[in-house]
Structure 1
Amino acid sequence: MNDFATPPNHIKFLAKRLFGNCGRIIDGAIAYLEPGGGGPETDHTHAHDHLFIVVSGQATIRLGGERKTLNPNEAFLVKGGIPHSVWNSDAQTTVMVGISVEAEERKNA
């Protein structure tokens, strides 16, 4: 449980900051990716960014020709303008939270 700590005035409580300010939240969803599942099949782009948080399992993000692997309790902000998709890279179901946020460039325009 690396990077987990007990906040002041809490008991039997561990927390880990997953992200700071990353823009205005548009929406959020929980996803269950079966082994070998994910998508979209062809990497895509869009105007908003995605903040992906893995709850259990392991996810691999295809990102502009590279790959980023996320394990439980890890988060990663995907810039929407970079071709991307997300895939389960575990032998069991991966559970992850996806939060769509307004892109910084758009927010500051």
Structure 2
Amino acid sequence: MKITNFVTPPEHINFLAKNLFGNCGEIINGSIAYLEPNGGGPVQLHTHEHDHLFIVVRGEAKVLFENSTHIIRENESFLVKGTLLHSVWNNALETTTMIGISVKSSDDRCIK
């Protein structure tokens, strides 16, 4: 596992932490997903009113947009505006583990 930008908080021992996001808006729900190699979706790019904050715990994910792609590496987060056409796919040869948090009115500045 690649550990970058982690710190040991005061009064902690053998403990590394990394802030992934701040105030992103009101949380609607959260889930964990296991994306097998070549797995993801939806097959067709889609939109919706809420945004997604994706956090990759293991592996690597690829967010497809209409005209671009964004890679989310292990221990990174990325906010996907729901109003943009998008889908998310595994970008690794092994299973990718990802947490998805759906939020109402989010702010791009929430990502650290």
TM category (shorter chain) comes to over 0.9
Q: In structure 1, what is the equivalent of residue 14 of structure 2?
A: 12
How many Å apart are 1:64 and its aligned residue? 3.1
**Structure 1 CA distance for aligned equivalents of residues 34 and 106 of structure 2:** 28
Q: How does 1:41-60 map to 2 (within 5 A)?
A: 41-60=43-62
Q: Which runs of 5+ in 2 are unaligned?
A: 108-112
TM-score (norm 1): 0.92
CA contact (8 A) 1:79 1:103 kept: no
Aligned residues: 105
Q: After superposition, what is the alpha-carbon deviation per residue over 1:9-60, rounded to whole angstroms, capped at 9, x for unaligned?
A: 1111100010111101000000000000000000100000000000111100
How many Å apart are 1:81 and its aligned residue? 0.2
**Structure 1 CA distance for aligned equivalents of residues 89 and 31 of structure 2:** 16
Q: Which runs of 5+ in 1 are unaligned?
A: none
TM-score (norm 2): 0.90
- Which 4+ runs in 1 deviate beyond 4 A? none
Q: How does 1:71-82 map to 2 (within 5 A)?
A: 71-82=73-84
Give percent identity, aligned residues only.
Answer: 58
Q: CA RMSD in A?
A: 1.1
